[in-house]
Amino acid sequence: MKNNNKITIILVDDDVILLEMYKKKISMSGFNVLIAKSGKEGFQLMHDSSPNLMIVDLVMPNWDGFELYNRIRVENKNVPVIAFTNLSDASDKQEALNRGFFDYWIKSDYTPAQIVTKIKKILK
């Protein structure tokens, strides 16, 4: 599923409108963006595409972001996984970072353009 030599990013969120908006914005920056509406779907995409980065919501049906992260690590996948969530409590952030998430982004804190900038810094 990799698109030529483009960097592949998987977005996992149960909010379809948000997924489509971020897919469009990130794709415009030259990345190959795949989307999944559940943790299970995201896990399957990861197996099919060998992504360079995964950005996952923490609260969603069919495996939340923590379950998805755990399953990725069981497979010994070294892909960076970023939590992208509405959970703004410091304890949620600390739990995610303690488990090994690469970073923790609160959705309301960033515009789509800022997210693209953050992605570019990570993948440079």
pLDDT in tens, 31-52: 999 999 999 999 999 999 889 9
**DSSP 8-state class, residue 116:** H
Give the residue with greater pLDDT, 116 vs 6: 116
**DSSP 8-state class, residue 107:** G
Task: Say which amino acid occupies 13.
Answer: D
Tell me the C-alpha to C-alpha distance, in Å, between residue 40 and each of 52, 110, 116, 117.
18, 26, 25, 28
pLDDT in tens, 70-114: 999 998 678 999 999 999 999 999 999 999 999 999 999 999 999
Tokens of 88: 């703004």
| pLDDT at 2 (0 to 100) | 44
With cut-offs at 50, 70 and 90, classify the pLDDT of residue 1: very low
What are the structural domains of the chain? 8-123 (3.40.50.2300)
